[in-house]
Each structure stands twice: as structure tokens, then as C-alpha cells.
Structure 1
């Protein structure tokens, strides 16, 4: 028996990176899957790759009407919804307070919070009734920046801290019917982009980082792939494995919490 047999999972940002890895893993676990993806080209790729196995809808997570259209399509196709995974996001490429123009800072804040926080809130609103009916769950993608400074600039770090508050509040409001949790991955191979307001909409996270740099700061000393983070999502979504966790945030940080981000073990024969 797979952990998500016949469950219906709705994932945002499923066209690449972690979102795509989650689609693949959920299908492996027996789920029926839908995604809301901003890029029309990525939607076409998903439709070509998965066919009828995945409902791929083009839309923007900052638009409630796009969410509602997606949820309506899911209910029409599958008759229910069991798990909403809010995953779509943008990064600020470590844009610092001192080096960022005040006007860019203001516009960047609006754009980044609209995607990273409002996008989660609108998704939760659109999915709430269906998840209450199924007694399902919500899971939101966080980041090591939800716990530590240095995983982004002040805009990104603040947005991920805001998302932790949203998770706690939604877990409180939607109990006992809906479990609401989060997963905070560290750096990984991804197509994650930045805000247009900062001139970063065509800049990917791997344009700022290298696999060697990411591996060097992690105590586990490896460069994660997106698929390496899918396990906690499956566990939190699974009715068999998770009846007791809500308001919980799993810090999948490659071991950063054991010694912080600055010190790298050296001279140890492990």
C-alpha cells in the first residue's frame, strides 16, 4: 500500500524544481495530482509528459480567481481534494538592505510578499471548504530562511518568517478538520527566480549559488536535489503516517541547526 493511494493532491509551482519533484513523488505514492503553474510553456510540458495523470492549469498564485478555477477543475475531475501544497515562490538573491535602492526595496517587498505569503493565503482560502469536507491537510514550503538569517536577504527571510505565522494561525483556525504544516528545505537544484521589481525575474537561484558552495555550508556535506525533500511532504500528507501533527514545521536544513551557518567542520576524518 502506497502512502497516498487515491488521495487528491494540489501543488502550486509544479512546472520545475521542488514542485515537479513533488508531482513525481505523489504519483509514485498513488495520488491523483493537479498543479497551478504560472508558465504556459511549463504547463504544456507537464501535459506532454504526464498526459491525463496530472491536471495542469496555467495561472497565478496571486490571483484568487485562478485558484478557484483550479479547485473547480479538481473537484470536477476527481470529486474531492485531500491535500493542498503551497509551493510556488520567489527568492531575492540575497539582496541586502544597504545595497538595495529604497524604491526597489518597496516594490520588491510587495512583489515577493504577494507570491510567498499572499499566494499561500489565497490558496488556503480557495481550498479550505474542500479540505474541511475531506478532513485533509495543507502543507506549505518554507526555507532554511524561516529559521536562520543568511538564507536570503531581508525581503525573502521576512516572507518565510511570515509564512510560519500563517501556518500556525491556519492550523489553529482549521482544527480539528484540517492539518496545516510546513517543510523548510535548504538550498537545492531549482529554477527558483527573483522578483521583477529587483530585475531578477530571469535570474535563477543557481546563478547565485554553486553546488560546491551549498554543500560546503551543510554539515551533511552534499548538494541536495529537489527529490531529496519530498519525503517529509508525503509523511505530512499521509493519513496513515500523520494524524497527530498540525502546526508543525519540519526543518529539512541539511543539518544547519546543529551548528549554524558559519562554521564548517574541518580536519575531521569522518
Structure 2
């Protein structure tokens, strides 16, 4: 049996990237999962891959009615709601304030904060009655940018710091009935939607862009102690742990950092053990 056997989860922004990896892992752990996203094609693929273990809904997490509809959908489909993962997010292409046109600053702020901050609060508001009913878990996808600068531009960094505050405050407000936790991934091989204030695709939609340039692997490996540019799947065990009633029952207000060791970077060296194997085991080991 998996760690989430018999549980019902709702994951926003679950069509791709880290959200999709969480969906796959939760199903593997025995959960039934409602997946929301704005992309119907991605949701269709999830239904094809997981069948009756999932139910999907095209939904925009920026609106309270959409969140309430998603929660009601979960209860109608599977009878209850145990876990809500506020995962939907938006990046900013590492755009610094000096490079945002004056007339675009307010729009960029609104678009990033609407999904990275407001949608988290709206999801919590909509899910709270059902999560209290099941004594469930509310989980937020944070980022290394919730703690450190330069993991994005000013809009992204500020929004992810704000989302960390939500986790801490709601962990307090919802105790003892709902556990509130988060996972903070570091650099990950995924793409993320950016505000149309920074540009649009041919159809006039906000574009999706890789969160790192084409040389991302070598660059991220260079600056991380574990020399790792993560795959979305690398973070999913943390999402399982904070969701599990049996494995994480004493955790609330907790953030699991899954960031390849950014918090232990040194001032003189990124990592202190580059030559450790040779020092211990000899040349060629």
C-alpha cells in the first residue's frame, strides 16, 4: 500500500512540470486525484494515462468561484477532499525591475501575484471546509526563491516570499484541524508560464518559457552543492511526506527545501567536497 492509499487530492496547475509529477506520484501512492489546469489538452493526456484514478477540470485558480467549483468537483467525483496542493504558478523570466517598461510594471505585478499569491489564498479559502471535515492537508509549491534572491526577477521573488508567509500564517490559523506545509524546489527542468506583460505567443497568450537558458544543466550544476539540475520527479517524495497522515502527522508550517543544497553554499566554494573522494580513497577512485 502507498502512503496516500484512500486519500483524495486536488492539484492546481497539474497539467505539466512539477504539478504533473505530483499527480503521477500521488496516483502511484494510492490517491485519487483531481487535476486542474487551464490547458485542456494536458488534462486529456492525464486522463489517458491514469484512467479512473483521476478526474480533471479546466480551471483558472485566480478566481474564488473556480476554486470552489474544483473542490465541489472533487467531492462529487470521489466523495471527499483530503489534500489540496496549491501548485499553479507563474514565472517572470528573471526580468529585473530596471528592464520592465514603466507602463508594464503594474500589469506584471498583478499577473504574477494573482497566481503565485492570490490563487494560494483562494484555494485555501475554498478548500478549508472540506479539509476541516477530513482533518486534511493544505500544501503549497514554493521555491528556492522563497528564501534567496536571484532565482527570478523582482516579481517572482517577491511573490514566492509572500507565499511563504501564507504557509506560516495559515499553519497557525488552521491548527489543529488542517496541516499546512510546503515544498520549495530549486532549479528544475520544467517550463513555466510568464505574464503577457513580458510578451505573448502567436495566439496572443502568455508564453511558456524554459526557466533557465539552454545551458541550464551546466549552469545550475555549477552553483549547487549537489551539482544537480533537478527533474520534476525529484521533488515528489517531499509532497507525499507532507500529505501523508501516517508519515507527516506532526508537521505543520514546515517547508521542505528540495533545492540541491542552496542553503549550504559556501563563501569560498560552492561545495566543500569536490575533492573529498580523492582525498579519502586516492586518485582514480
Say which SS state the counterpart of residue 138 (structure 1) adopts.
Answer: strand
Preserved contact between residue 91 and residue 205 of structure 1 (Cα < 8 Å): no
Residue of structure 1 in register with 2:213 after alignment: 208
Residue of structure 1 in register with 2:270 after alignment: 264
Residue of structure 2 in register with 1:25 after alignment: 25
Shift in CA distance, 94/263, structure 1 to aligned 2, threshold 3 Å: farther
What is the CA-CA distance between 1:212 and the residue it aligns to? 1.7
- 1:215-248 alpha-carbon deviations (Å, 9 max, x no partner): 2211100221000001111010000011111111
Preserved contact between residue 93 and residue 208 of structure 1 (Cα < 8 Å): no
Preserved contact between residue 151 and residue 157 of structure 1 (Cα < 8 Å): yes
Distance 1:267 1:169 in 2: 38
Residue of structure 2 in register with 1:117 after alignment: 117
Residue of structure 1 in register with 2:281 after alignment: none
Task: Report how many aligned residue pairs link the two structures.
Answer: 270
Residue of structure 1 in register with 2:282 after alignment: none
What is the CA-CA distance between 1:51 and the residue it aligns to? 2.4
What is the CA-CA distance between 1:169 and the residue it aligns to? 1.3
Matches within 5 A, 1:143-222: 143-199=143-199, 201-206=206-211, 208=213, 210-222=216-228
Preserved contact between residue 61 and residue 123 of structure 1 (Cα < 8 Å): yes
TM-score, normalisation: structure 2: 0.90
Shift in CA distance, 267/169, structure 1 to aligned 2, threshold 3 Å: closer
Matches within 5 A, 1:1-270: 1-199=1-199, 201-206=206-211, 208=213, 210-259=216-265, 263-265=269-271, 268-270=274-276
Q: What is the alpha-carbon root mean square deviation over aligned residues?
A: 1.7
Preserved contact between residue 217 and residue 261 of structure 1 (Cα < 8 Å): no
Preserved contact between residue 95 and residue 152 of structure 1 (Cα < 8 Å): yes
What is the CA-CA distance between 1:262 and the residue it aligns to? 9.1
Say which SS state the counterpart of residue 183 (structure 1) adopts.
Answer: strand
Q: Runs of 5+ in structure 1 lacking a partner?
A: none
Bigger CA drift: 141-150 or 46-55? 46-55
Q: Runs of 5+ in structure 2 lacking a partner?
A: 201-205, 277-285
TM-score, normalisation: structure 1: 0.95
